[in-house]
Structure 1
Amino acid sequence: MYYEALTPQSLDYYAKKYLKNPLQWEAGSLGYNSYSSDNDFWQADVCNISKALLANSTAGTLSRPSNEDCILAYGSGNGNMKGWANLLVVTRDTVALPYPNTTILLQFRYQEYVSNSTDNNWVCDPDYLIDNNYKCNYKHFAANASSWTLGPVNANAENPYVLLPSAQWPIDYCLAQGTDIPGKYQLQYSLIIMICVLVANAIKLTCMILILSTHLEPAVTTIGDGIASFLQRPDLFTVDRPFLNRQQARRFKKLGVGGPDRWRKPRFTLRWWNAPSLPRWIITLTLCIVTIIAVSLLLEYGNSNLRKGFPQVLRPYSIGFGAYNSAATINIFKTSITSPTAEQFASNSLLLSLVTVANLPQVIVSCLYFAHNTVYTSMVSADEFSRFSSHRKALRTTDPRGEQISTCWLSLPWMYALPIALSSSVLHWLISQSMFIARTEILDTYGQPGPISYLDVGFSPLAILLALLFGSGMVLGMILNGFRKLKPGVLAGNNSLAIAAACQRPEKEVYVQLKRVQWGAVTHPEGVRPGHCCFTSQDVEAPRLSELYI
């Protein structure tokens, strides 16, 4: 996008002189942060655009929007303006020029003037900027711009907004060039990354087919599979220990001491959080809390940098999901390159470094998801096991037979598997909108690529905030679920030794695993002979307090 401000007299003079003698064109005196370049391309580009604008003006093909419409169209500070391209801003006849022979008061290309320090402030006049702490609300200004003036900015190291109110130019009208190029998009991909993804998926598919075709044994995926397996073939190691809980199973594994034991009432109400081990809780919560704190600090650091270093970013959270903003970029590993060459664009090392930075949060969250899912699996398994002590149920297995019910190859029931999987997908999507690779190629009015392009890892503060809140909500939900009560019984969790001990069915009972089963006492103590507790399809009773069972 290109802009110029001209006096009406100089517009006519300029058209007559330079359209007849285009080789005499010079850049002119620039009084408004033009960001001009000394290279030949810049001068030629400015010359061609200026000549085209003047020719269109002379031919009457430029539109003349009202000043309010002009400010609203060109003050948004984003390059995807619909329907508008280059612009001429014409001053009034009474303008007092500091340099009478100056033809062009200001000129700049949109993508260079809209920079990290100036953004869209060009549309607001000096008095408005001074009165509003050098911040330009172009919509508010347009609604109240009965008179519109422009003025030069004399930036220095101490203050990038040193205005010169004495040199103000009242604006008479705008001449705007129409266009049908609001923004073009391309699908770009890396051949080497695509090949790596295809190879990795081919290897995974091969492994899945190999396992399904060679491992024909019944799968032990759920706690129902484990119970069915041990009911079909009782474990010899746990014959004399019928109701091991998780802690007892660990001690029994080390000592190997069996025998009858007394049924005792738990010292406290069993809850879901008792199912996962303490080290598992500590590791999972520590990783989650450290990640949440780190992301919070980095988000605040990024927002403070945006507010301090880029005054035009008044509200960092106004940057949309996955929306590129030149101020919101990450340069931790020096991966951001302005105006990269074709060779740099095609460089696999550059692209891989950008991909690594942008996708590092995805890897971290995937690891946290495994820890999160393991805690849930342990809690839900303990709940599923404890329910067998209160009523008779069918076993949930991967290959249902008899009265067994299907689990659709999920270790967790659908009630928990679907919400957890959906939550994980939403979180990964939010992260994909939080950090992303942005390659921007700037096209001129005629759709041709310009000399300036950008390659960055961008970030969206709003998406990061929502991902942070959503992830924190998942952790909080896991903790709150831990306060749910378990049914009275044996706290086995997903400990295979404790499950095996509970499956020491009566010797004469067969095909128990195909029926609806319940855990409890099938016999009670008779004299010195202990009773027996196990999973069975027969009628059971609750174990009696302080009595011996085996």
Structure 2
Amino acid sequence: MIQNPKSAVFSFTALRRDYDPENDVDEYKTLEPRESSEPSIAKWRRTLYLGSAISAAILLTNLIMVLWASLRKSEHGQSVLLLSENCDRVKRLSTRVHLLINILSTLLLAASNFAMQCVGSPTRHDVDRSHARNEWLDIGVPSVRNLSKIHRMRLFFWFCLALSSAPLHLLYNSTVYSTFSVNIASIYVANSSFTSLTNTDITAAAYPNLSPSALSDDLRLVEMAKNMTYLAPQDCISAYFTNFLSKYNNVVLVSQGFNGSVEPISSIGMQFVTSPSDYSPEPAYSWLCVSERAYSPDVPLNEWPKFCSDVRSRVRSGQDWVVSGYKVNYCLAQKTTEQCSLEYSLPLAIVVIGANLTKAILICLVAFCLRDDPLLTVGDAVASFLRSPDASTVGTCLLARRMVLSDTRCDVREQKYSILGKDSVYEPQPYIAKQKRWWSSLSKTRWASLCLMYTLSLAVSISLLGLGLCKMEITDGIWDSGLGTVQHNTIINDEHWPEELVPNVLIANIPQLIYSVLYVLSNGILTNMTLAGEWNTFSEGKKGLRVSTSPKGNQRTSHFLSLPYRYGLPLIALSALIHWLISQSIFLVNANAYDELGERDPYFDVMALGYSPLAIVISICVSILLPASLLLIGCRRFKTGMPIAGSCSLAIAAACHPRAKTDDEKLDIEYRLLKWGVEPSKPGEIGHCAFSDADVTAPEDGVFYQ
């Protein structure tokens, strides 16, 4: 089973057999016999060795990066500046860096997940001990049930590997993050003759009421205006209608109604950078709407955003734009170069290295200290039970998982399938030829739990989306908001919101962690159904067992442990898409502020979270596909009425008591082509069903077997 979408690459390369187009088309087809010698090192252990090497290499890479970054001088506190360039280049580099980080985390989590699968899967000794206690274990799928039945040291390894995955999910991708620039702007008003003034026009004699410093500022503004960009009123409003001004800073509103005889240019305000933690009903761009009506009692401060949006709409339709009593004819805006940077967080990187080191040590310990072969697949269990049959299930050849899990299990198990020993006598049971659906291989409780968790997650997502839409300050549709785009009206604002990097990173990645849990649950259900599907095909024709050890004879190497390619690859693609959509739905917003002179002003820096309503809507729609696909797959019917064993060790063991023997002494039975069915019997003898390499027949509906 793929425990996490990030484990796909590792599992695919480490556990798959040599690629064969025919093998990929039909994963259940019968293979021709082949001879291969059993290697001294099992395949699963060699996979762990590879995982140990990969985790050590990733640890070395992270250590080199941290050491290099710690030696660099930086004015960014605990973060190291990697690059400060134009935003296009920073964005391209950020994409490449995060691609590399995702590859490394994919490999590391995959190695960890496989190690968890190895320590969490029962050995034959664990199974025998549980059967002796009237209990059963799961085989072929990760299971919480197994954790209480395995050795304490393996349990300790499992929990440490699981806990060390959390920092990788929550922090690794955020160790490198990008920032963008925001500007503080001074707002001026002047008439059209302002730009034609010269040094000789702006003197103390011409403007006796102005101080020398004011005259100097006016001269500077005149020179600056010559290089400003012309903007029509509607374009000017669109450019400055934001709390995060990045393309422009200072602006001159040109109005014919301004009298320049007293002063050539007048300051009417500033547009600051509004921090979400300093939330105020008045937006940073409120100067756009300053008019006599804005100050009237019928327009309270908390309605300014909507009022400003109405002003923009009216100007777009051709109406006049009035600011502080002046009708604006056009604007002269000072264009700035958008500066972005790429930064590396040392505190986050150190936590990631700690998790990386923990995993590297634990994977090595599992690889070198795990003694007995774990039963990783149902094929492993069948091979083990054929090699050494389970005495407690003799004569229970039609035992199914539902009988073990039934509410009447006390009657069924204690009277007919009780684990009483090899000399027990069990009543024959009738074979039911009804072809059940795949979903019946799982309990209703498990289906209900998955549906409940998905319903709760979707309900919370939709509620938060509705809350976010209600707080949006503009009336534009969400389809114009973009994916992962920073907008002033989609910033989470609250006076108690943290302004530090680590809390924002943790909050932003919580949805990723929640979806990873949902993915594991969904993948477990799909693995159980496909496992039952392959189990059922053994009643149709002979085929070799899928094993996690090196195959011998007609055995086959497992792919994705128990999940076939036709289901595994689409599942990985869908999960990767959902993870990416979630990253575009809620994301880190880190802005560096610059004052009206273009100098850095850290006081107005912004650290917050942004959200994309469009990405949230798409994420909700796409995420519904996963449970819907599971339900659709669950509607498939099995080809025969073979009892569904699922991952239940008791039901698997019950089907592995062959009576018939062949004359082939070259290979033990577990290495041969096998089929489940009714073995040849003497007249009057009660029939018996089992995995066998002999010529077996299909059981008949209503006939009793033992």
Q: Distance in 1 between matches of 2:681 and 2:628?
A: 43
Partner SS state of residue 456, structure 1: strand
Partner of 2:518: 368
Q: Distance in 2 between matches of 1:63 and 1:138?
A: 22
| CA positional deviation for 1:391 | 2.0
| CA positional deviation for 1:231 | 1.9
In the alignment, does 2:166 pair up with 1:16? no
| Change beyond 3 A, Cα 1:80–1:452 | closer
Aligned residues: 486
| Change beyond 3 A, Cα 1:405–1:243 | same
**Contact 2:186/2:596 (<8 A) preserved:** no
Q: Distance in 1 between matches of 2:702 and 2:683?
A: 14
Q: Distance in 2 between matches of 1:195 and 1:55?
A: 50
Partner of 1:247: 402
| CA positional deviation for 1:258 | 4.8
Which residue of 334, 338, 341 corresponds with 2:496?
334
**Contact 1:245/1:492 (<8 A) preserved:** yes
Please show how residues 15-164 of structure 1 align to structure 2 within 5 Å: 16-17=202-203, 24-25=212-213, 52-57=220-225, 60=226, 62-63=227-228, 65=230, 67=232, 71=236, 74=239, 77=242, 79=244, 85-92=249-256, 95=257, 103-104=265-266, 106-109=268-271, 111=273, 135=309, 141=315, 149-152=321-324
**Contact 1:525/1:549 (<8 A) preserved:** no
Which residue of 560, 571, 574 corresponds with 1:420?
571
Q: Distance in 1 between matches of 2:259 and 2:682?
A: 111
| Change beyond 3 A, Cα 1:103–1:544 | closer
Q: Distance in 2 between matches of 1:264 and 1:464?
A: 50
Partner of 2:428: 261
| CA positional deviation for 1:511 | 1.6
| Change beyond 3 A, Cα 1:302–1:421 | same
Partner SS state of residue 343, structure 2: coil
| CA positional deviation for 1:243 | 2.0
Which residue of 690, 696, 702 corresponds with 1:534?
690
Moved more, 446-455 or 433-442: 446-455
**Contact 2:660/2:694 (<8 A) preserved:** no
**Contact 2:309/2:475 (<8 A) preserved:** no
| Change beyond 3 A, Cα 1:425–1:490 | same
Q: Distance in 2 between matches of 1:357 and 1:446?
A: 35
In the alignment, does 2:621 pair up with 1:453? no
| CA positional deviation for 1:298 | 1.8
**Contact 1:519/1:540 (<8 A) preserved:** yes
Partner of 2:659: 506
| Change beyond 3 A, Cα 1:52–1:336 | farther
| CA positional deviation for 1:412 | 1.5
Partner of 1:323: 485
Partner of 2:379: 224
**Contact 1:262/1:548 (<8 A) preserved:** yes
Q: Distance in 1 between matches of 2:610 and 2:281?
A: 14
The residue type equivalent to 1:65 in the other structure is Y
| CA positional deviation for 1:359 | 2.1
The residue type equivalent to 2:332 in the other structure is L
Partner of 2:191: 7
Show CA shifts across 1:499-526 (max 9, x none). 1111112364562221221111112562
| CA positional deviation for 1:232 | 2.1
The residue type equivalent to 2:236 in the other structure is I
Q: Distance in 2 between matches of 1:174 and 1:389?
A: 80
Aligned Cα RMSD in Å?
3.9
The residue type equivalent to 1:3 in the other structure is I
| CA positional deviation for 1:464 | 1.5
Show CA shifts across 1:23-59 (max 9, x none). 6456xxxxxxxxxxxxxxxxxxxx99866432334xx
Moved more, 269-278 or 254-263: 254-263
**Contact 1:6/1:105 (<8 A) preserved:** no
Show CA shifts across 1:377-431 (max 9, x none). 2111111111111222222222222222222452312222222233222222222
Please show how residues 208-223 of structure 1 align to structure 2 within 5 Å: 208-223=363-378
In the alignment, does 2:349 pair up with 1:194? yes
| CA positional deviation for 1:6 | 0.8
**Contact 2:543/2:554 (<8 A) preserved:** no
Partner of 2:507: 357
Q: Distance in 2 between matches of 1:112 and 1:305?
A: 16
Partner of 2:677: 520
The residue type equivalent to 1:424 in the other structure is S
| Change beyond 3 A, Cα 1:330–1:121 | closer
Q: Distance in 2 between matches of 1:140 and 1:75?
A: 16
**Contact 2:661/2:694 (<8 A) preserved:** no
**Contact 1:504/1:535 (<8 A) preserved:** yes
| Change beyond 3 A, Cα 1:549–1:104 | same
| CA positional deviation for 1:241 | 1.2
In the alignment, does 2:703 pair up with 1:547? yes
Flag the structure with more relative contact order, 1 or 2, with Cα contacts below 8 A and sequence separation at least 6: 2
| CA positional deviation for 1:432 | 1.9
Partner of 1:463: 615
Partner SS state of residue 16, structure 1: coil
**Contact 1:124/1:141 (<8 A) preserved:** no
Partner SS state of residue 65, structure 1: strand
Q: Distance in 2 between matches of 1:133 and 1:183?
A: 32
Partner of 1:396: 546
Partner of 1:305: 471
Which residue of 159, 169, 176 corresponds with 2:327?
169
Partner SS state of residue 202, structure 2: helix
The residue type equivalent to 1:531 in the other structure is G
| Change beyond 3 A, Cα 1:56–1:302 | closer
| Change beyond 3 A, Cα 1:98–1:478 | farther
| CA positional deviation for 1:85 | 4.7
The residue type equivalent to 2:552 in the other structure is R
| CA positional deviation for 1:102 | 8.7
| CA positional deviation for 1:182 | 2.0
Partner of 2:562: 411
The residue type equivalent to 1:90 in the other structure is V
| Change beyond 3 A, Cα 1:49–1:402 | farther
Q: Distance in 1 between matches of 2:701 and 2:321?
A: 91
TM-score for the superposition, normalised by structure 1:
0.77
Partner of 2:457: 291
Partner SS state of residue 535, structure 1: strand
| CA positional deviation for 1:75 | 5.1
| Change beyond 3 A, Cα 1:483–1:24 | same
| CA positional deviation for 1:214 | 2.4
Unaligned runs of 5+ in 1: 27-46, 153-166, 338-349
**Contact 1:502/1:533 (<8 A) preserved:** yes
Q: Distance in 2 between matches of 1:333 and 1:68?
A: 34
Q: Distance in 2 between matches of 1:432 and 1:183?
A: 23
| Change beyond 3 A, Cα 1:442–1:316 | farther
| CA positional deviation for 1:456 | 1.2
Partner SS state of residue 392, structure 2: coil
| CA positional deviation for 1:274 | 0.4
**Contact 1:121/1:135 (<8 A) preserved:** no
**Contact 2:315/2:321 (<8 A) preserved:** no
| Change beyond 3 A, Cα 1:447–1:234 | farther
